[in-house]
Structure 1
Amino acid sequence: MARRYELPDAAWELIADLFSREQRMGRLRHDDRLMLNGILWVLCSGAAWRNMPERFGPWSTVYQRFRKWRDDGTFNQVLERLHLRLNQQGIIDLDT
């Protein structure tokens, strides 16, 4: 069961391929899902990055990942995919 502001398994499976990239070199990356949950926690709660719970990892790493995904268009791809899925299910009214 997902905690408040965290993605449930079904939602993560829908978008996981947009985030998880194969790592070839360097340090082990922090889990992308955990980083995304940290981002959602900050954005939904309205708290400062530095006040993010430690369970998400270092706040600076989560913020850095947020900036990277914002700048490289990952979040736009997520919204596009969700929009298409909701449109296919007939949940979105395109006239509004």
Structure 2
Amino acid sequence: MTRRQLTDKEWGYVEPYLPIGEYGPYPKKLREQFEGVIWKFRSGAQWREMPAEFGAWPTVYNRFRQWRDAGVFENLLEGLIAKAAERGEVDLSLVSVDSTTARAHHDAAGMRLD
């Protein structure tokens, strides 16, 4: 799979949401690590198959886990939606909420009535 890099404009949206701790990551490596996470999920490959251009795969994986646990991806999504709404680019007619309730047989839950 070919690598698709983030444009500078896209990175400008993403970067403010990524925390930088006292001891890392180095800001210059932050972008390549984030792109490594994107590569992993776009390609469907295993972490160990990550090209070296993104850095060591255990480092990128650990960074992903830190971001996931800190809620970075949820905050990023909400922030991008808010920016799109400011520009009038959010179309709520595309939102769909569906709920279905189906009663299951009592044996389906492992309950036996003898």
Q: Which category describes the TM-score, using the shorter chain as reference length?
A: 0.7 to 0.9
Once the 2 structures are TM-superposed, how far is the Cα of residue 22 of structure 1 from its aligned partner?
5.3
> Which SS does the other structure have where 2:13 is aligned?
helix
Larger Rg over CA atoms: 2
| Matches of 2:7 and 2:19, distance apart in 1 | 16
Match of 2:25 among 26, 29, 38: 29
- TM-score, with structure 2 as normaliser: 0.71
- TM-score, with structure 1 as normaliser: 0.82
Letter in 2 for 1:10: K
CA RMSD across the alignment: 1.8
| Bigger relative contact order, structure 1 or 2 (CA pairs below 8 A, ≥6 apart) | 1
Q: Deviations over 1:38-76 (max 9, x none)?
A: 000000011111001000010011010111101111111
Give 1:1-96 correspondences, 5 Å limit: 4-21=3-20, 23=22, 25=23, 29-30=25-26, 31-96=29-94
Q: Which runs of 5+ in 1 are unaligned?
A: none
- The size of the alignment, in residue pairs, is 91
Q: Percent identity at matched positions?
A: 37
Q: Which runs of 5+ in 2 are unaligned?
A: 95-114
